[in-house]
Amino acid sequence: MKKTFFITTPIYYVNAPPTIGSAYSTIVADVLARWHRLKKIDTFFLTGLDENSSKTVKAAKEKNYTNIQKYTNDMARIWKEVWKRLNISYDNFIRTTDPKHKKIAQNYFNKVYKKKDIYLGTYEGLYCEGCEEFKRGLDLKNGLCPYHKTTPIKIKEQNYFFKLSKYQNKLINLIEKNKKFILPESRREEILNFIKTGLHDLSVSRPNLEWGIDVPFDKKQKLWVWFDALLNYKTGVNKRYWKDQVIHLVGKDIQKFHCIIWPAILLSTREPLPTTVFSHGFFTINGQKISKSLGNAIGPIELANKYSVDALRYYLIREIPFGQDGDFSENALKNRLNNELANDLGNLLSRTLTLVEKFFDKKIKKGKIDSKLKNKLNFKKIDSLIENINPTEALSEIWRFIKEVNKYINDKKPWENEKERKDVLYTALDSLRIIALLLFPFIPDTSEKINKQLNIKLTNFKDAKFGLLKEGKINKGEILFKKIEEQKIKEFKNNEIKQKPMVKYEDFQKLEIKVGKIKSAKEHPNADKLLILEVDTGDRVRQIVAGIKGHYTLEELKGKEIVVLTNLEPRDLRGFKSEGMLLAASDDNKIVILKPEKEIKPGSGVK
């Protein structure tokens, strides 16, 4: 039987679209999944959404949804669109409102109950709705939740308790014996110390909630959302994947749930435990966690549109050692794009192919591999870094080799060194083939572009050895990465600052500005940045072509109230008539639509 590799991300709350934080876990999980698929290991990559939280209800109501399920369906579409754009190759996208998940979660609750590990009790204490967690005094900082900076609510309620205390010693044993159960090492100690301070029984149901999964034997209670959410790792996958390697990637804020509560539930139901729970750090901005609730979120899509998906994936993995915290910096992203992706990798490909074009009429001629350069690539080491969940170091190691190949070309000077030219260019081309293969899990689009130019197809890691590139013709194409020019950005900023001349009040009065409601949105077939909107402006539904593509998903736009300049002369924008202009604000990172602060009927005048 084939070896299995099962990798999961946390399932995300649906109160907002993905942030850099959620993209981070998901991209790393994607890298690990793709890596194992290339090793021909039977791989399953699970991600999805945690939809049964009270936060879902709150967010839906804030957005004027009366049907909560409709809200989660709309959000699920957005999340999937984002993952598609970021090339996330998940095998299943679980949603906890799926009836199959609900049923299995109830079965588990029953199982634990029948093991006499669940009993009815009264909880009196604090609850943070942001974390969906019962809090103790020592979990707080100055009375506030350290993650959400909010005061937890006081509750006193009857609910079902899980006998977590019963598993205290078993958990200590497990974690002490199994050094890989919690990674990185520092987190393992943190959890061990926490358990040793004493585990208390835990409420696993909540009364009087309007949204969630019913406790199977008590309809007045709903499953505590974490009990339900953790079970996605069972309900989202065929149990044959709970075999060789089961890896949960989580942020450090949710490691306790995964390293204590989750294994305790599995111990109670006597099921296999995960191999590893790996807790990564936070991306911060000025030291604060980037998060929806703190309002400092940067959209991964905006960044991908501006710099490319691969530049974003590369930056996120390479910049901060996986497991540690780090500050997000657009400047650092730009530097890595310019220096590493464009210079080191992009130039290596284009200079090699230019030489092949010039001296060998675009032909790949088989030559002798340089054994010194060959020895600079250590596949086993890279693989073992990935197996130890160190994608940052693995990528750096690949990069070291890319630099070596550049140095090799510089030293050998194949443009003047006729004697060795064939061997040098073959060695460089074959190295590029292996580089593309190794980079596929990290930056799949780029890897495919390299393959296309080398005129080869992606294979697997059996081919991560030298000398396999066959004779043939190259297919030199576009450069891999365009550099971001600092100059351009500065000029743009200066223009923005320049003030326009004063206008008379009467001139302003000539403008007719109205509230509109977007009925539909689609992509412009012949333009990169334009969307075609149907907008109800009270008088009629008009077509407006707007340059906001990439800043909003089509789903997000539908139903949105906006502000429209309605008496602008119609214009033809690449074959589509635009009958008005949508008002939006922009800086050099993003465009945001202006919208009325409260709902108001389409056609209302803006004064």
Positions that interact with ligand MSP (CB under 6 A):
10-13, 19, 21-22, 24-25, 50, 229-230, 232, 250-251, 253-254, 282-283, 289-291
Q: Which is nearer to ligand MSP, 50 or 556 (CB)?
A: 50
Task: Put the strands of the sheet holding 118-128 in their side by side order.
Answer: 133-135, 118-128, 153-162, 202-203
Q: Give the burial string for 560-594 (b: 16+ CB within 10 Å, else e).
A: bbbbbebeeeeeebeebebbbbbbbeeeeebbebe
* Shortest reach from residue 433's CB to ligand MSP, in Å: 34
Q: Helices 391-412 and 379-387, interaxial angle, to 10°?
A: 160
The count of other CB atoms within 10 Å of the CB of residue 230 is 23
Q: Which is nearer to ligand MSP, 232 or 235 (CB)?
A: 232
Residue listed under structure tokens 């650092």: 332
Q: Which is nearer to ligand MSP, 50 or 430 (CB)?
A: 50
Helix (H) / strand (E) containing 392: helix 391-412
441 by Cβ neighbours in 10 Å (0-12 / 13-18 / 19+) ranks as: buried
Contact 473, 455 (CB under 8 A): yes
Provide the phi-psi class of 199: left if phi over 0, else alpha when psi is between -120 and 50, else beta: beta
The tokens for 329 are 């910096």
The count of other CB atoms within 10 Å of the CB of residue 33 is 25
Helices (H) and strands (E) in the chain — how many of each? 22, 28
* Shortest reach from residue 283's CB to ligand MSP, in Å: 4
Which residue type sits at 391? P
Q: Which is nearer to ligand MSP, 213 or 254 (CB)?
A: 254
* Shortest reach from residue 326's CB to ligand MSP, in Å: 9
Separation of alpha carbons 471 and 489, rounded Å: 44
* Shortest reach from residue 243's CB to ligand MSP, in Å: 21
Helix (H, G, I), strand (E, B) or coil at 550: coil
* Shortest reach from residue 282's CB to ligand MSP, in Å: 4
Q: Which is nearer to ligand MSP, 21 or 441 (CB)?
A: 21
* Shortest reach from residue 473's CB to ligand MSP, in Å: 45
CA 3 to chain CA mean position, Å: 27
* Shortest reach from residue 367's CB to ligand MSP, in Å: 46
* Spatial CB neighbours of 90, under 8 Å, sequence gap ≥ 6: 30, 33, 45, 46, 47, 83
Q: Which is nearer to ligand MSP, 282 or 440 (CB)?
A: 282
Degrees to nearest 5, angle at CA 312 with 474 and 337: 60
Residue with the CB atom nearest ligand MSP in the bound state: 251
Separation of alpha carbons 208 and 214, rounded Å: 11
Q: Which is nearer to ligand MSP, 22 or 205 (CB)?
A: 22
Q: Which is nearer to ligand MSP, 323 or 602 (CB)?
A: 323
Contact 30, 88 (CB under 8 A): yes
**Dihedral pair phi/psi, residue 431, rounded to 5°:** -65, -40
Q: Give the burial string for 519-543 (b: 16+ CB within 10 Å, else e).
A: eebeebeebeebbbbbbbbeeebbb
Degrees to nearest 5, angle at CA 65 with 59 and 68: 75
* Shortest reach from residue 257's CB to ligand MSP, in Å: 7
* Shortest reach from residue 291's CB to ligand MSP, in Å: 5
Q: Which is nearer to ligand MSP, 297 or 402 (CB)?
A: 297
180 by Cβ neighbours in 10 Å (0-12 / 13-18 / 19+) ranks as: middle
* Shortest reach from residue 237's CB to ligand MSP, in Å: 13
Q: Which is nearer to ligand MSP, 21 or 414 (CB)?
A: 21
* Shortest reach from residue 203's CB to ligand MSP, in Å: 17
Q: Which is nearer to ligand MSP, 203 or 406 (CB)?
A: 203
* Shortest reach from residue 293's CB to ligand MSP, in Å: 9
Q: Which is nearer to ligand MSP, 133 or 536 (CB)?
A: 133
